[in-house]
Structure 1
Amino acid sequence: MFNLLRKWNTLRNQILFVFLSVMIVVLLFVSILIFNQVSSLLENNAEKQIQQVAVEANGRIETLYEQLNMASKLVATNDKVQKLLTKEYDQKHVAFQEKQDLMGTVNTITANSDGIFSFQLFTRNHTRILPLDNANLMTSLDTRWVKKADDAKGSLVWIGEDPNDSNYFLVIRRVNLINRSFANGGYLLFSIYGNYFKFANQALTGEINQYFMLLDELNKPIITNFEQSSESIVERDKKIVQINERDYMITKNFSNVTGWTVLILTPFSTLTKGITVVRTSILLAGFIGLLIYFICSFFLSNIITRPIIRLTNTMRFASEGSLPSTPNISSVNEINELNSTYNQLVKETNHLITMVYQKEIIRSRSELRALQAQINPHFLFNTLDALHWTL
């Protein structure tokens, strides 16, 4: 293991590792920064868009509410209604024919009013005039709604779901007698269809599991496609709620006209749908950038280390008794300086070796000549001495 690490511990690998490490850190930092910025931007835009949807839905509901207000006001201020209730207020006898004529007038207004199912007209003593029977108002409503209608002094009072038929909602308003200084002349109770306040885009919510709620002043649902209880959601002040193990963002918009609240629950997976594409794009771009940077770093490290490796291999021949010069290569100034210095060193070293070698040869020859010069006289003397003894 140590030998393997030592084998890979080269200058080229170190340069490549440093370049790649720096590139990975830079790419990681930039990717996280861009991802967070884009994610925040997408979430904010989606939140603003949903808030705009809530505002538009609230505006539409206010328009429908004003239509109900206008239709009921037409009935309350109708001349026949005013005359009939004035007679009842003055305790005068009201003919059956007058009631029939009034019934036709009210039916005509009902037919020309969107969302209104029927009108019921009561005297101030809670006796029903229309339809033509003797039903009492108190048998249909709680007394607190009549009190609220009195306190409203002619404004609409939303009651809510009809206790006798859940397909309809009830609204009550007090009828003020114009000729009697706007005294209490009776009550107008009318039923509206349950889907009258249906959201315009509620049919599309099933595709994204988005929930719409229209809450009255008591935070009770008027229109909703949320099948579970909404009390726990309405009471929360947080912007996030978990439903069926999914996180939903809560968007609210309150209406000053109706006193109602539009509440929209949008899954976060819908808000962050574009973030997945951004994440994939960033990962793909980072991988491609890292691959390109790896190739460039590999070639750059080779360009830097190739002259050094060549110079190192040349120096290895010195241990074999040879000092070859390295060829001149085109590289950075530092590498060129190192190569030039090495070549100068090799040149001087080879020159010194040559000089020492020549001096050694000359010295050897001089010693040989000196020996020869010593040998020649001894050889002549020995020859003459031998000749003398021979004679």
Structure 2
Amino acid sequence: METLTVKVGMPMPGKFKELNTLRNQIFIGFLLVMLVILGVAGVFVYGKVSYLLKNNAERHIQQTAVQASGRLDALIGQIDSLMEQAANHPTVQQLLLNELDGKTVSFNQRQSLLQIVSSYQAYMPSVGSLELYTADYRLLFPIKEGSLNKRIDSRYITEANRQKGRLVWIGVDPLDDQSLLAIRQVSLMDRWFSRGGYLMARIQRSYFQLGDPLSGSDSGESILLVDDAGQLLGSGEAEHGALLGLLDSKEQTVNFMEKEYVKVKLRSEKTRWNLLVLTPVSYVTEGISVLRTVLLASGGIGTVLFLIMSFLLSTMITRPIIHLIRAMRKSRLGVLTPNSEVVSTMELRELNYTYNDMVTHMNELIQVVYEKEVLQSRTELKALQAQINPHFLFNTLEAFNWSLEEKGEEELAGRVVAMSRLFRYIIGSSGQDEWVTVGEELEQVKRYLQIMEMRLGERLTWEIELSPTEAAVPVPKLLIQPIVENAILHGVESRIGAGAIHVRISPSVREGWSSILVQDNGPGMSAETLAALYGTLAGGPSISTKGTGVGLFNVQRRLRLYYGGGDGRTDGLTIDSKPGEGTRIFFEIPRNGGKTYENEHQDHSGRG
């Protein structure tokens, strides 16, 4: 009888390979990254936004409290101003002075106070009445029997005497719980401000209703005016014990009338009253609750959507991957860098190998093309220079110079020397004629303009501006002179009358760049001619048959060749011209000479 043996716990290579696929790795990796990002972002956003919401709510509460305190001070100031005017009224002063001198005040005199008091009450209707008392506490107005020490507690009279004319707030009127009392001592101005009596005002409690004008929102805020005894002074009703508990509580969050509030307490030094600003806790935490709900909902929806998108994306990547490998083996476009990452998935390992092989071939090809472009540019410049036989030219110019000096033609001899230096600059010596400084290039421009002065005479004036910081900036040789030549050829010579050339080299608004401007006052160009010129610079046919120099097209090509790479690439030539207004040609170069300059000088230093 045969026995069947089964080994348990052995690995299953086939199943393991099926799990270790690019599709599963992308799906699981994306899912984990998404969960981590959502979690971290959610916690961060919740913490920051909840902190901001709490701060905004606290600032709002503090602002409300400050506004309420300011309004209370303004209301108190109005009462103080009114009572001061009434106390200093000439009639009031005279009646109290008569009383102090022992003269009896008649009924008609007391009756005359009615018109005065009525005028002040008409100005401020919230003042229910004004009561005037003599220095010995007798009621002088209104016309009835009464005594000040029986009307209010004596401690308020003592405080009014101590304040010497400043307002003293008493609180709720014992005779009318809908009114508040305030008293001040009346000082007699004709008796060196001695005590002449007392003026007491009865103000309606609704005058101190601070909540409605300040709320301005649906936050449900309550603003209460309470004295130290826990009595509500403004309009409204509240239990005495509840208000006293609010005053004594040190907590920021309090319970009042079966609701939870955030409390802010301010004290008025003028009245010795307390201002309580109560904001519902629900208003403070409402934004945080909404934020929590939004974050949870958006996180859940985002996770579900990301699961679906990850599944679809992983399927889309793995299906065409074999076709992508075959296509990449034939591809030789772009500039790429090798990928040194080691991967375990078979498809990605093959893809990585193919990609690195392609990058190697492409970089070699790009390097060859680049060197050919640089060589072609240098060859074109050499061809231009080779059009003149150097030895014959220099010997001939030297002979002219000697001959002119012997004949005393020093000015013409100077012109010949300038021309000789100009051609020596153009031809130069091999290996050292690609880059010069801006200062050297402008010396060449000066020599050229001096020679042109000999031909054009008074028809040509020129000016060169060079910032000292720009003189040492490296620049390819013959980059500015062709533009000046073009300005004379098409600007000065085409103008009737005197022409002017202005060359300016200054720091650019771009950090690390220099600005170069060549301007003439020639006839300018129309919009159609300017558009055609831009077409020529882009590689189109030439629009002019005048001149055989390097020209603007060659300058444009060299700008793009030397400065066209990298993130800070130059924009090339910018030309601004209008009929009758001349022409401005402008371009910018980096002060470090660009990538080509750095590479060439590294090559020279390496060879040295």
Quickly say closer, same or farther: Cα 1:339–1:78, change in 2 above 3 A: closer
Are 1:177 and 2:184 matched, yes or no? no
Structure 2 counterpart SS, 1:41? helix
Matches within 5 A, 1:293-372: 293-299=306-312, 302=315, 334-336=345-347
Kindly provide the amino acid, as one letter, of the partner of residue 44 in structure 1.
N
Deviation of 1:112 (Å):
2.0
Deviation at 1:136, TM superposition (A): 1.2
Structure in which a larger fraction of residues adopt helix: 1
Match of 1:360 in 2: none
Kindly indicate whether the alpha-carbon contact (under 8 Å) linking 1:50 and 1:251 is maintained by their aligned counterparts in 2. yes
Structure 1: unaligned runs, 5 residues or longer: 1-5, 308-326, 341-391
Tell me the equivalent position of 2:302.
Answer: 289
Q: Which runs of 5+ in 2 are unaligned?
A: 1-11, 326-342, 352-608
- The CA distance in 2 between the partners of 1:88 and 1:70, in whole Å, is 25
Instruction: Tell me the distance in 1 between the aligned counterparts of 2:78 and 2:348.
Output: 93
1:217 Cα offset (Å): 6.2
- Distance in 2 (CA, whole Å) between partners of 1:328 and 1:148 is 99
Mapping of 1:250-289 within 5 angstroms? 250-289=263-302
Write the letter of the residue equivalent to 1:267. Answer: P
Which deviates further from its counterpart, 149-158 or 205-214? Answer: 205-214
Two-structure CA RMSD over aligned residues (Å): 3.4
- SS state of the match for residue 166, structure 1? strand
Partner residue in 1 for 2:404: none
Is 1:76 the counterpart of 2:87? The answer is yes
Q: Is the 8 A contact 2:64 2:214 kept in 1?
A: no
Query: Which amino acid counterpart does residue 57 of structure 1 have in structure 2?
Result: A
Partners in 2 of 1:338 and 1:140 — Cα distance?
Answer: 102
1:106 partnered with 2:106 = no
Output the CA distance in 1 between the equivalents of 2:220 and 2:302: 38
Q: Indicate whether 1:214 and 2:225 are aligned.
A: yes
2:149 matched residue in structure 1: 138
> Following the alignment from structure 1 to structure 2, what is the Cα–Cα distance between the partners of residues 272 and 226?
27
Q: Secondary structure at the match of 2:251?
A: coil
Separation (CA, whole Å) in 2 of partners of 1:142 and 1:333 = 95
What are the superposed Cα offsets for residues 192-227 of structure 1, whole Å, 9 maximum, x if unpaired? Answer: 111001125269699644221123466643226572
For residue 56 of structure 1, report the CA deviation from its aligned partner: 1.8
Q: Secondary structure at the match of 2:58?
A: helix
**Aligned partners of 1:330 and 1:336 also within 8 Å:** no
> How much has 1:93 moved relative to structure 2?
1.7
Change (3 A) 1:51 1:101: same
Instruction: List per-residue Cα deviations over 1:361-381 (Å, max 9, x = no partner).
Output: xxxxxxxxxxxxxxxxxxxxx
Shift of 1:328: 6.1
**Structure 2 CA distance for aligned equivalents of residues 199 and 149 of structure 1:** 27
1:193 to 179, 190, 204: 204
Q: Residue in 1 aligned with 2:127?
A: 116
CA distance in structure 2 between the aligned counterparts of 1:224 and 1:141, rounded to whole angstroms: 22
Deviation, structure 1 residue 183: 1.3
1:67 pairs with 2:67? no
**How many angstroms does 1:118 deviate by?**
0.3
- Alignment deviations for residues 279-326 of structure 1 (CA, whole Å, 9 cap, x no partner): 33323332232123212432455578889xxxxxxxxxxxxxxxxxxx
Which one has more relative contact order, counting CA pairs under 8 Å at least 6 apart? Answer: 1
> What residue is the counterpart of 1:248 in the other structure?
261
Amino acid at match of 1:291: V
Letter in 1 for 2:311: F
CA distance in 2, matches of 1:328, 1:282: 41
Match of 2:104 in 1: 93
Give the letter for the 2:187 counterpart. N
Whichever residue aligns with residue 77 of structure 1, its letter is N
Which one of the candidate residues 32, 50, 66 is aligned to 1:39? 50
Secondary structure of the equivalent of 2:233?
A: strand
Tell me the SS of whatever aligns to 2:91: helix
Deviates more, 1:181-190 or 1:7-16: 7-16
Look up the match of 1:147.
158
Is 2:250 the partner of 1:237? yes
Q: Which moved more, 1:272-281 or 1:116-125?
A: 272-281
Residue matched to 1:166: 177
Q: Which amino acid aligns with 2:69?
A: N
* Deviates most, 212-221 or 289-298: 212-221
Distance verdict in 2 for CA 1:11–1:255, change over 3 Å: farther
Superposed displacement of residue 337, structure 1: 8.2
Supply the AA of the counterpart residue of 2:252. K
